[in-house]
Chain A
């Protein structure tokens, strides 16, 4: 039942990038690259999203915004850091206002390299993220099932 894999919804947030990666993320949605053929839709609402595509090195002011968006997304969720400044801070690493890398604030599952990251790379990153998303879902389903089975055994024990 790989239902999430067939239609992941994407949320995009710009956490202090130069805009280069952001327009490439948008370019992925438009006719030449067209990720909608994979069932992906760009949503503006964190509660609808499965995948968070995030760019930039995070600054002091948007740190809370990023945490907030991440917490609002329902489980299972995957975070993709797009571009080199999302991975390490990149060219902005030594700026006084840059935290340096998304993984300093929220857990990251996939890193997409490049300055700016190319649409092909971003799509590749999203496809990698899909298998991680599926694993997370399976793990969640597994835990839920074990819990249910445990409950059943307990109840069975009580009734006898």
Chain B
């Protein structure tokens, strides 16, 4: 009765992103989330998908100023994650269906998670 959960992560190149996502969409996967991690000097993007508790990750690494194509043309709901990615990391995303242009999450400090700010953490109450 209990389903075993499996997690797989596949590294892909930026230019293959749309094709890979299209393939997963055709394979009946749903979009779970898009997340970023800052490695020193670049970002690691995780596009997570799920089908019957089988968890698949597409992982790519991009530089700070690299423009990433939006997958909102394939998964309509991707706009929340892509706007979030832009607002907290400053990663430019091209062609989002509902583009908030940096007003989705408004913060005092612009792009609070961006690599250019590493180490310079400002706390209003220090």
Contacts and interface: CB of A to CB of B under 8 A. Distances in A.
Interface residues of A, number: 12
Secondary structure of the B contact surface, majority rule: loop
Contacts of A89: 125
A60 B109 CA distance: 9
Contact of A99 (B109, B124, B126): B124
Contact of A100 (B106, B109, B121, B124): B124
A94 interface: yes
B125 A98 contact: yes
Nearest to A94: B123
Contacts of A135: none
Interface residues of B, number: 11
Interface string A75-117: 0000000000000010001111111100000000000000000
B123 A60 contact: no
Interface in A29-60: 59-60
Top 3 A-B residue pairs of the complex, sorted by shortest distance between their CB atoms: A60-B108, A100-B125, A61-B106
Interface of A: 59-61, 89, 93-100
